[in-house]
Amino acid sequence: MFGFKNIENQPIEITEERKKELIEKIAKKIVDMRLTVPAIVFLESMKPLSFIGSQAMIFFEPIFKSVFSFKEYDEIASMLEERENIERLLCEIERIDAEKG
């Protein structure tokens, strides 16, 4: 498979706990930057193409790495290859936005 790999060319393994941390961190940044609506629209439209979208992250790597560490960036890209993680991210964005009122 074309998934993201670590330095040793092994697939990146992410625990469920780590996925939850990353999703929460991304969602908080999106809500803090007041990008809730554009992010939701973008993520909803990209859900069917989640694998291709994660591959597009290679193109946007310099921008993302200014916000996330190298390891986090690779973990996020790997995690977003799975469609259910996009849904989890959407739910977390909505939850945090609702809490902020």
pLDDT category at 98 given cuts 50, 70, 90 is: very high
Query: pTM value?
Result: 0.74
Helix 36-46 vs helix 16-32: crossing angle, to nearest 10: 130
Average pLDDT over residues 49-54: 68
Please enumerate in sequence order all residues whose Cβ is within 8 A of that of 1, keeping only pairs 6 or more positions apart, or say none. 11
Say which range, 18-22, 26-30, 52-56, 81-85, has the weakest mean pLDDT. Answer: 52-56
Average pLDDT over residues 17-24: 94
Taken as a whole, the chain contains a residue count of 101
Report the distance separating Cα 4 and Cα 78, nearest Å. 5
